[in-house]
Amino acid sequence: MGTWGTGPFENDGGLDWIDEIARGGTDLARFRAGFEAELSADGYVGEYGEGVLALLRIARIIDEARMVDEAPAGAAGAAGAAPDPAVAGIRPEDFREGLTPEYRGWLAVAAEKVLSPQASDLYDRWALTDELEAWLATAREDLEHLQAELERLEQGRGVEPEGQLARP
């Protein structure tokens, strides 16, 4: 499977996706269209699963950076967590504009599909290992963070993200 850990950047697919982003080759709208086309073909998530989870982690990194920026000087947690070295070449500002509340809503729904035993090649591959639960816990933590951020956005600005996947 080309993995060495349960995180979204601890596998060949996740790192390939990060490399493409670093070279400026990933368009979020195009990624979403590709994911939806793949899903509508047979209701199954194949090659896009690792990219969804990588993007989920990037959204979390962006949110955590924003929280550090907004924290008063000297506040607890103001120093922030060390960024994942796999994303060292990724600039959060390149994603802020594209990761709208609506896109984040879609990303949450897409991540739920990736984490589904009925609809995901990536889940199937992890099910063959003894680390399925650790992988799920890591991904669900990122998903829960995204869902909490969506709630914060909805309360703060009256935003209602759609979060719908295209149906065949």
Size of the chain, expressed as the number of residues it contains: 168
Confidence (pLDDT) at 3: 75
User: Which H/E stretch holds residue 106?
Assistant: helix 101-114
Confidence (pLDDT) at 78: 44
CA distances to 19, 122, 141 from 4, rounded to whole Å, are 17, 15, 19
- Kindly state the average pLDDT of the residues 72-90: 55
| 11-20, 113-122, 141-150: segment of lowest average pLDDT | 11-20
107-129, pLDDT tens digit by residue?
999 999 999 999 999 999 999 99
Distance, CA of 167 to CA of 144 (rounded, Å): 24
Is residue 117 a contact partner of residue 46, using CB atoms and an 8 Å limit?
A: no
16-72, pLDDT tens digit by residue?
877 777 677 668 888 899 999 999 999 999 989 999 999 999 899 888 877 666 656
- For the cut 80, the answer to whether the pLDDT of residue 102 exceeds it is yes
